[in-house]
Structure 1
Amino acid sequence: MTRNLLPFTQFVVKVHSRCDLACDHCYVYEHADTSWQSRPKTIVDTVLTRAAERIGEHAAAHGLTGVRVVLHGGEPLLAGPERLRRAAEAFRAALPPGCALDLRIHTNGVLLGPAFLDLFAELDVRVGVSLDGDRAANDRHRRYADGRSSHPQVLRAVDLLRRPEYCHLFAGLLCTIDVENDPVAVYRALAELEPPAVDFLLPHATWEQPPKRPAGQGPHPYADWLLTVYDLWEADGRPFAVRTFDSVHRTRHGLSSLTESLGLEPASLVVLETDGSFEQADSLKTAYDGAPATGLDVFTHSLDDVARHPGMAARQSGLAGLSADCRSCPVVRSCGGGLYAHRYRDGGFDHPSVYCGDLMNLINGIADRSGKQSTVPPAASAVPAQPAAPPVPAGLTERQLDELASGHGGADTVRALARAQLALTRAMLAAVRTTSGLTRSPAWDVLAELDAVAPAAVDAVLGHPYARAWAARQLGGDPAAGLGPLAGLAAAAAVRAGRGDTVAVPLRGGVLHLPTLGRLDLAGGARKALVTGTADGFTVRTEDGTAVPVDGPHWHRVRRVVLGGDWTLALEDVDPQRDSHQRPVADRLTDSELASWSWGLREAAELLDRDLPEYAAGLRAGLTTVTPLRPGPPGREVSAAARQAFGAVGIARPVTAPTLALLLAHEFQHVKMGAVLDGLDLYDPADTARYVVPWRPDPRPIEGLLQGAYAHLAVTAFWGSRARAYDGLPGAAADHARARFALWRRYTAEAVERLADSGSLTPVGLRFVDGMRDTVAPWLAVPLPRAAETAAERIRSRTTPVVSG
């Protein structure tokens, strides 16, 4: 059984156990653990294959929508390009449909050249590079065995990663702190390389092997060093993500940490060594010889077995797993006791971190500085700043709430949800500005001015589903999100306003994206485009003033399908944020694929109007965007909705229009429920129980149960309508419709009752579920042939969902 286990979502895979550098601060070779000496240098194909299978089965068993695999070492590039290719292909192929792979490699950079980067571009592998700062700082530890500097080779590698053809692969830099290095010089050297993110890492140490604390530097030199960097980072407008600083900001506001080194979130990482053995976090190698070992291996043990290991459980126990001193500390929710390995003392980990004083001074220092930050100037008051995105009241009348509770929701009701969602997007953008330090942003200034003089243009852009999706990623600390999309939003609003405003938009990989409008591919290695909205369109120039044609083959506009009445859907196949649905997205549609989608959507709209009018009205008012997804395996439809993308659904084009209509109705139920939950507390968030749901084999949290039950109201209504259409008629299609109606009315009724009996619903939640029950009750009274009930029971016994929940 997996219901009580916390699944792993991050996997560090050692593809080579040796290194071409001899860094004297390396925890693998220079600290207490010596297991590397007996391990094979290179991972073999049998280990790779079995590891991929283990991760795939773990993802399927726990319903994971995404996993991260980091190819590591030693130095992973020593494994060679062919073995890295086999690794990437094995992990990608083993994941179940609907589970996305975030594949990365962490390298010292000295071997990183165009051949490897071409391979990583082909395989979609993001690259992190270790670099401790300027040459003096880097040479203090990161040298070859013969004493030579590695700094020139690493700079060459980073320069390659900054090229337009490779910059999308650049995950960031990892810098191990040495307090004898000048923090100003280190920061300036790293910032000059324009990385998307920098991790500043405390050197691994324990109470028995404490970190160096040079004389004359004060009692908390690591906090002092980091706060010096923090002040520079703030003064520069936070030019890149820093997980340590971002995590302190987030945990102070009750949000999750972005690193295992801070916060109380349970650890979700496991390490696979070159011989196929599972280990705990690599950092434990600094504690004692054999500390990371589990005694488990990829051939004889599942990842659930690994999750049951006492060491893993200790790293997943949150506040309860900390020492008494830590539990009573005022900054514990930000500190989280520090990194688990750094607590080691006298044979155990029930102690504060050896960096305890430094962590407290760092957290309090950031808190003090945050209290002095300026507020948003009046020019931006149309989008008020918040420290984090708060809930926005749904703004619903009593009638509209009951209408939504029934599963339906007319045009006025869904428009009320859309207005609340737009307000939430605005609040989240303001939070991005606040937490990112954009106090002097030309793009923000243009957006704020347009909001005052051309609000419809701003609303059209901020109402785009993936505007909020980007803001959520940025607030969530995703280093790949970046701040460039804010300029894209401002430029798109400027184009729509047509007043002559110009916005400078950073390019990624030579691509200019204007949300709601399209994508322009620029050649020549340009890094920035100047977009000017004019009365008859827009113009684009590069930084040197060169005009770029916007009406040729390099301009890919967002294409829209008119579905009758005033309903127009965007077929979004160019927005880089469209992958928010956690499923692989389709590439730009060909003309024939566009035609197929257009005809299918028009026919599906007619079917919805005819067979599900009580759902169709809300769909017409609130569904603005369909993102084509890649198809799943034969016989399985693929569709999804994203909580942070109101108004959009992702669908892999099904063969028939009725199936497309079903998927549209089903996924838009998730969209509506997400908007309701943003404005109303329907259940107690402290409920951590897992509930059995009848349509899938794995138990779900209460929100998953609620979302599934609500979505299946539309699914049941669809099959009920089909069954009525075949009333009294024989044939396979009629039998199929009646069996599906029998199945889904039973599934949905059980889920509604499970919600009602949970004991976790708030008063408004109970009222909402009562409305759902009122919709289900008449379905249960519809007589069906015995054969339909028997067929439904046969499907139920397989516990395989017909439509994803």
Structure 2
Amino acid sequence: MDSETAVFRQFVLKLHSRCDLACDHCYVYEHADTSWRGKPLKPTPATLRRTARRIAEHAFAHGLPEVRVVLHGGEPLLAGLGTIRLAAEALRSELGRRCALDLRIQTNGVGLDQDFLDLFEAHRISVGISLDGDRAANDLHRRYADGRSSHDRVLRGVALLRRPRYRHLYAGLLCTVDVRNDPLAVYAALRALEPPALDFLLPHATWEQPPLRPEGPGSTPYADWLGVIRDRWLAEGRPVPVRMFDSVLRTLDGRSSLTESLGLEPADLVVVETDGTLEQADSLKTAYDGAPATGLDVWTHSFDDAAAHPGLADRRRGAEGLSATCGACPVLRSCGGGLYAHRYRADTGFLNPSVYCDDLKEFIGRTAERRTAERRGTPDPHPAAPTDAQLDELAAGPGGAGVVLELADAERFVNGLLLDNLRRRAAGDPAVAAAWELVLRLGDEAPDAVEQVLGHPYLRPWAERALSGRRAEGTEQPADPAGLAEPAAAMALRAGAAVEVPVPVRDGLLRLPTLGVLRTGAVDRVLVDAAGRSVTTTGGERLRLDRDEPRWQPVRRAALPAAGGLAGWTLALEDADPERDCYRSEPSARLNADELACWERELIDAWRMVAVGLPEYAEGLREGLSALTPLVGLPGGRLHSASVRSAFGAVGIARPGTPELLAELLLHEFQHVKLGAVLDLADLFDRGHRGRFTVPWRSDPRPVEGALQGTYAHLALGDFWRARAEALAGPAAAAAARRGDRFLAWTAEVCTALLESGALSPSGVRFVSVMRATVAAKRS
């Protein structure tokens, strides 16, 4: 949850300490660390079993629903079939059914043959292959010790992996960048192998051993090289996930990174060497001899002991663990200081920007500029209604990541319009005009910061109240257009802009959307110093916006790990923002540490159920759900959740006490969230229709929108409980199947009533017809 949380969810298990290639850019054998010389070639059976037991011990102690283990080296295939089989069997035996195992192997591919692939298929081991592009690019570094090319052998291994029998094991390709290679030739060669995912790795370097820069200091060859591929990839419509590019785009939107080399998410990885010693990430081998060492091993230490190691703890401090240069950087949220190892300098350790700082700043900045230009370049500035294909995709139930992201973009646009309307409403108010000018300026200088705040779910409820002059529940003051300074200040803080923003205080609270709430006491106005991350009250008191200030209540986030083949993400637990009180249900007070931990544990388990059982729903959920507000429970422990049309990306839920029920409520409410966004863009029914519909899930007849919303939600619940039936056994499975069938029957019944009512528009008829056909196919 917070940066101090000491939990490992990824384990790198070394199966061999030597390699059959002699890559001259290898961080294990060619950089500063020489510890490989003293390691046994491969782990003993006892070491493998002990490691598996320690991983299970850690997973069970922290209630982890899934862990990822990557079999690595050197070259792990050199360990042989028997060692790999023993490692897989030991891990699955120890973890059992209490914790799912995402087991992978990262190989250079030269030794990959059918015997290995049969073993990987039997033990559900996904395969990632390291390949640097076409023959010329790959053989620049990846050769045998005698200078022979490895390219043909690797392609032969990839060809085997791409056969229909084994293709489900194909995890992707990893390419190390060399700016002397032709970027488009590299990209084309990798794409030709039809990888399910790609990643690009900056060559490991430090301030002591800087990377190759053919044009000398001050140039940004890595940003230029990656930018050529990024532009082609975007022009092609992002045909394959590229972890580095996707991470930049996600973090620009305020979401989590997918890689430890970018973003501010805490490190959750530990390495087990062939002798059972525990080490930090392998990339540290490029810093100095012994840099990854912890002095710990699986025989006498737990993974909790490793998590407490100062080096690993330092990598969980987020922005607070970075240099002053990084802290003032406008792309901090996306860059995160770069890879930890790349910050090393002998005199100052790791408290430096990345040696690729200029490249990262340039690449992230250009990516943000391109994204903003594309969004602004559309001929119609208003968001378009969903296409027929998008409506069909959503009506079938899930709605993939792409269409959900389009809905999120549209909702940000709506929020921007509302702020502009507020500015117009308050024409003549110099404070409002100044706040709006700041928003416009930051839109040019730091568009990612503006986009993040515009995507805050509770921005629109406040703006709509400010436009109408209504008062929120439990507050004494109506919403005031002068509050436009709140999002403007939040944008400036996210951008690290050198500005001071006067912000009005409401009911003793300074609200900074996406960041948190500061309890200021009885003052009317404060001055926010964005670059200094501090606030000065009218009484002259200066307050820091950091964890050392007890009156500062930052937004806290649950870290939801990778599951079911989907990348992890973070979900804000909004328990301080006063605008969360928009559900006609009482929001809970600020969560204490125990409540926070309970929420995170149950959210992790609920997310895994959805990701594993319904990955098609999970993709959209991960991209579109940004916040959850805990609600006060109802008497008798009845299930209780809510969503509102004006708060896209957020749901309110009273903690139900089991991950299964929490997963049900998340899916239920997110269906409402998606359909609400569709209804903002398209008329699915006649808004003048006054008829009511009898629905089987409520005693009171529902208006057309209520019937449509309920039908869409129950479609997802039918899918969820059917998936649960497949995951369970015995009476529990039968009960889940009956529940799923009941929800689908309800959906079919009300779809028919809606189609026969005459209340639907042509788009609505299409939408409900696809829903009904989808249910009919599931029930046949």
TM-score, normalised with respect to structure 2: 0.54
Distance 1:25 1:308 in 2: 31
Contact 2:564–2:608, Cα closer than 8 Å, also in 1: no
Distance 2:562 2:217 in 1: 32
Cα deviation, 1:88-128, whole Å, max 9, x if unaligned, reads 11111111534211000000000001111111111111000
Distance 1:177 1:653 in 2: 46
Question: For residue 383 of structure 1, what is the aligned residue in structure 2?
Answer: 386
Cα deviation, 1:609-666, whole Å, max 9, x if unaligned, reads xxx99989x9xxxxxxxxxxxxxxxxx999983645741132455555799489969x
Question: For residue 572 of structure 1, what is the aligned residue in structure 2?
Answer: none
Contact 2:4–2:317, Cα closer than 8 Å, also in 1: no
Of 608, 629, 641, which residue of structure 1 is paired with 2:663?
Answer: 641
Contact 2:65–2:608, Cα closer than 8 Å, also in 1: no
Distance 1:191 1:338 in 2: 26
Distance 2:16 2:80 in 1: 9
Question: For residue 370 of structure 1, what is the aligned residue in structure 2?
Answer: 371
Question: For residue 557 of structure 1, what is the aligned residue in structure 2?
Answer: none
Q: More displaced, 303-312 or 81-90? A: 81-90
Question: For residue 329 of structure 2, what is the aligned residue in structure 1?
Answer: 329
Of 560, 573, 581, which residue of structure 1 is paired with 2:609?
Answer: 581
Q: 1:372, CA displacement in angstroms?
A: 2.4
Question: For residue 352 of structure 1, what is the aligned residue in structure 2?
Answer: 353
Distance 2:563 2:288 in 1: 33
Question: For residue 771 of structure 1, what is the aligned residue in structure 2?
Answer: none
Question: For residue 79 of structure 1, what is the aligned residue in structure 2?
Answer: 79
User: Is 2:206 the counterpart of 1:203?
Assistant: no
**How is 1:307-456 mapped onto 2 (pairs within 5 angstroms)?**
307-347=307-347, 348-373=349-374, 381-383=384-386, 429-432=402-405
Q: 1:434, CA displacement in angstroms?
A: 9.0
Distance 2:116 2:83 in 1: 12
Cα deviation, 1:36-89, whole Å, max 9, x if unaligned, reads 000000111111001000000100000001100000000000000111011111
- 1:74 partner letter: G
**How is 1:556-567 mapped onto 2 (pairs within 5 angstroms)?**
none
- 2:371 partner letter: S
- 1:290 partner letter: G
Contact 2:261–2:338, Cα closer than 8 Å, also in 1: yes
Question: For residue 12 of structure 1, what is the aligned residue in structure 2?
Answer: 12
Question: For residue 455 of structure 2, what is the aligned residue in structure 1?
Answer: none
After superposition, the Cα gap between the structure-2 partners of 1:382 and 1:57, relative to the gap in structure 1 and judged at 3 Å, is same
Question: For residue 156 of structure 1, what is the aligned residue in structure 2?
Answer: 156
Cα deviation, 1:384-441, whole Å, max 9, x if unaligned, reads 89xxx9xxxxxxxxxxxxxxxxxxxxxxxxxxxxxxx9799559542456999xxxxx
After superposition, the Cα gap between the structure-2 partners of 1:296 and 1:214, relative to the gap in structure 1 and judged at 3 Å, is same
Q: Secondary structure at the match of 1:55?
A: helix
User: Is 2:157 the counterpart of 1:144?
Assistant: no
Contact 2:12–2:272, Cα closer than 8 Å, also in 1: yes
**How is 1:607-618 mapped onto 2 (pairs within 5 angstroms)?**
none
Q: Secondary structure at the match of 1:31?
A: coil
After superposition, the Cα gap between the structure-2 partners of 1:423 and 1:127, relative to the gap in structure 1 and judged at 3 Å, is closer
- 2:146 partner letter: D
Q: 1:382, CA displacement in angstroms?
A: 4.0
Question: For residue 754 of structure 2, what is the aligned residue in structure 1?
Answer: none
Cα deviation, 1:453-494, whole Å, max 9, x if unaligned, reads xxxxxxxxxxxxxxxxxxxxxx99999569xxxxxxxxxxxx
Q: Secondary structure at the match of 1:359?
A: helix
Contact 2:250–2:256, Cα closer than 8 Å, also in 1: yes
After superposition, the Cα gap between the structure-2 partners of 1:88 and 1:376, relative to the gap in structure 1 and judged at 3 Å, is farther
**How is 1:604-683 mapped onto 2 (pairs within 5 angstroms)?**
641=663, 643-644=666-667, 646-647=716-717, 648-649=720-721, 650-651=724-725, 653=728, 655-656=730-731, 660=735
- 1:184 partner letter: L
Q: More displaced, 212-221 or 129-138? A: 212-221
Distance 1:181 1:479 in 2: 35
Q: Secondary structure at the match of 1:641?
A: helix
Question: For residue 193 of structure 1, what is the aligned residue in structure 2?
Answer: 193
Distance 2:137 2:161 in 1: 21
Distance 1:335 1:615 in 2: 41
The number of aligned residues is 456
Contact 1:158–1:193, Cα closer than 8 Å, also in 2: yes
After superposition, the Cα gap between the structure-2 partners of 1:356 and 1:298, relative to the gap in structure 1 and judged at 3 Å, is same
After superposition, the Cα gap between the structure-2 partners of 1:584 and 1:428, relative to the gap in structure 1 and judged at 3 Å, is closer
Distance 2:355 2:3 in 1: 35
Distance 1:322 1:118 in 2: 45
Question: For residue 633 of structure 2, what is the aligned residue in structure 1?
Answer: none
Cα deviation, 1:721-774, whole Å, max 9, x if unaligned, reads xxxxxxxxxxxxxxxxxxxxxxxxxxxxxxxxxxxxxxxxxxxxxxxxxxxxxx
Contact 1:271–1:281, Cα closer than 8 Å, also in 2: yes
Question: For residue 604 of structure 1, what is the aligned residue in structure 2?
Answer: none
Contact 1:227–1:362, Cα closer than 8 Å, also in 2: yes
Q: 1:5, CA displacement in angstroms?
A: 3.7
Question: For residue 212 of structure 1, what is the aligned residue in structure 2?
Answer: 212
Q: Secondary structure at the match of 2:61?
A: helix
After superposition, the Cα gap between the structure-2 partners of 1:312 and 1:663, relative to the gap in structure 1 and judged at 3 Å, is farther
After superposition, the Cα gap between the structure-2 partners of 1:614 and 1:273, relative to the gap in structure 1 and judged at 3 Å, is closer
After superposition, the Cα gap between the structure-2 partners of 1:80 and 1:365, relative to the gap in structure 1 and judged at 3 Å, is same
Question: For residue 227 of structure 1, what is the aligned residue in structure 2?
Answer: 227
After superposition, the Cα gap between the structure-2 partners of 1:298 and 1:477, relative to the gap in structure 1 and judged at 3 Å, is closer
TM-score, normalised with respect to structure 1: 0.52
- 2:360 partner letter: L
Q: 1:278, CA displacement in angstroms?
A: 0.2
Question: For residue 106 of structure 1, what is the aligned residue in structure 2?
Answer: 106
Q: 1:161, CA displacement in angstroms?
A: 1.4
Distance 2:3 2:200 in 1: 36
Contact 2:120–2:126, Cα closer than 8 Å, also in 1: yes
Distance 1:159 1:250 in 2: 32
Distance 1:435 1:193 in 2: 33
Question: For residue 53 of structure 2, what is the aligned residue in structure 1?
Answer: 53
Distance 1:38 1:133 in 2: 33
Question: For residue 524 of structure 2, what is the aligned residue in structure 1?
Answer: none
After superposition, the Cα gap between the structure-2 partners of 1:661 and 1:317, relative to the gap in structure 1 and judged at 3 Å, is same
Q: 1:166, CA displacement in angstroms?
A: 1.0
- 2:305 partner letter: D
After superposition, the Cα gap between the structure-2 partners of 1:69 and 1:428, relative to the gap in structure 1 and judged at 3 Å, is closer
**How is 1:239-258 mapped onto 2 (pairs within 5 angstroms)?**
239-258=239-258
Distance 1:102 1:478 in 2: 8
Distance 2:217 2:210 in 1: 16
Distance 2:383 2:659 in 1: 44
**How is 1:366-765 mapped onto 2 (pairs within 5 angstroms)?**
366-373=367-374, 381-383=384-386, 429-432=402-405, 581=609, 641=663, 643-644=666-667, 646-647=716-717, 648-649=720-721, 650-651=724-725, 653=728, 655-656=730-731, 660=735
Contact 1:59–1:96, Cα closer than 8 Å, also in 2: no
| 5+ residue gaps, structure 1 | 390-420, 437-474, 483-577, 587-611, 619-635, 669-805
Distance 2:659 2:729 in 1: 7
Contact 2:6–2:308, Cα closer than 8 Å, also in 1: no
Distance 1:246 1:657 in 2: 39
Question: RMSD value over aligned CA atoms?
Answer: 4.0
Question: For residue 33 of structure 2, what is the aligned residue in structure 1?
Answer: 33
Identity %: 58
Q: 1:232, CA displacement in angstroms?
A: 1.3
Question: For residue 624 of structure 1, what is the aligned residue in structure 2?
Answer: none
Cα deviation, 1:783-802, whole Å, max 9, x if unaligned, reads xxxxxxxxxxxxxxxxxxxx
Q: 1:4, CA displacement in angstroms?
A: 6.2
